A = this chain, B = another copy of it.
């Protein structure tokens, strides 16, 4: 049996087993297509890609396409593309943020340097497009290239909002919609394009499902950053705060703060990052006690609920259950 082969609709009886095999096939393809005669490239890329990421985005694309009856191989390439785009942005993010820890390990920029991380990110990003071109669908290429340019816009928005405690709720949502939700949206949309390319209504439905899921996912990420007693995320808590990122818990806390508390928060973000790092646990306790953390988490749960409601009119199936699990799982990661 060909090691890269995987289950088809003939044996779709147990979609969970099929999808587990799909994920293995995706991992195999990722390893194969990140290869290069320049050894440092696969070494650096593997360090991040094989560090036990959750593969939420590729799983989303796989599950949507399987749920809609896709049985050929294109979804494996699609899922690998999406993970390549995601990995490229992580490599660049870690340089931009000066991060030292990701998925519980030292970041590539710490181990190989910023320069290598930038260039290997570019390599993976290009390889994502090479894979996409092989898939041969201009529609999927359109969805993913537009998503990629929107992600970059979201990252720039984030950079420009750094340290700005007056950042509005609207600008926060615009930013996370671009930097995070867009790729979830594109993954779900492309999953439909692979399985049912002509069904515009399905496409819009799953696109919106992906968007809501992505918003829930990012907000939970932002909540977890202040939840320092929690160790499931693999990220060091307090990272966003240290880097001066203004996220939903902080926006809510600021909204309800007294004038003197607001001044304290403002001063906090005018300090050097090292002083913020020292002040983190006090700040996290304050944000938790203010109710802002729970309020932000409620918003995430709201988006997860919305995502699930979107699928309400689909007939019951194992595939649908899996999507609901992904949605609730994203909103419940701190449990």
Contacts and interface: CB of A to CB of B under 8 A. Distances in A.
Interface of A: 36-38, 40-41, 88-89, 92, 95-96, 114-116, 118-123, 125-127, 129-130, 132-133, 136, 138, 141-142, 145-146, 148-149, 151-153, 155-157, 159-160
B96 A115 contact: yes
Contacts of A148: 122, 125-126, 129
B118 A96 contact: yes
A156 B38 contact: yes
A149 B127 contact: yes
Contacts of A88: 122
A123 B96 contact: no
A119 B38 contact: no
A25 to B, nearest CB: 22
A74 to B, nearest CB: 14
A118 B118 CA distance: 8
A125 B125 contact: yes
Contact of A115 (B138, B146, B159): B159
Contacts of A127: 149
A176 to B, nearest CB: 14
Contacts of A151: 122, 126
A133 B142 contact: yes
Nearest to A174: B37
B145 A129 contact: yes
A108 to B, nearest CB: 13
B149 A119 contact: no
Contact of A152 (B92, B123, B132, B133): B123
Contacts of A122: 88-89, 92, 121, 125, 148, 151-152, 155
Contact of A123 (B37, B115, B136, B153): B153
Nearest to A85: B126
B38 A120 contact: no
A132 B126 CA distance: 13
Contacts of A36: 153, 156
A119 B152 contact: yes
A249 B299 CA distance: 61
A242 to B, nearest CB: 15
19 contacts: A40-B160, A41-B153, A88-B122, A92-B122, A95-B118, A96-B118, A96-B119, A115-B159, A119-B155, A119-B156, A119-B159, A120-B156, A121-B122, A126-B152, A129-B148, A130-B145, A130-B146, A133-B141, A141-B141
Contacts of A155: 119, 122
* A119, A125, A141, A142 interface centre (most CB from chain B within 10 Å): A119
Contacts of A120: 152, 156
B138 A126 contact: no
Nearest to A116: B159
Contacts of A41: 153, 156
B133 A149 contact: no
* A95, A96, A133 interface centre (most CB from chain B within 10 Å): A133
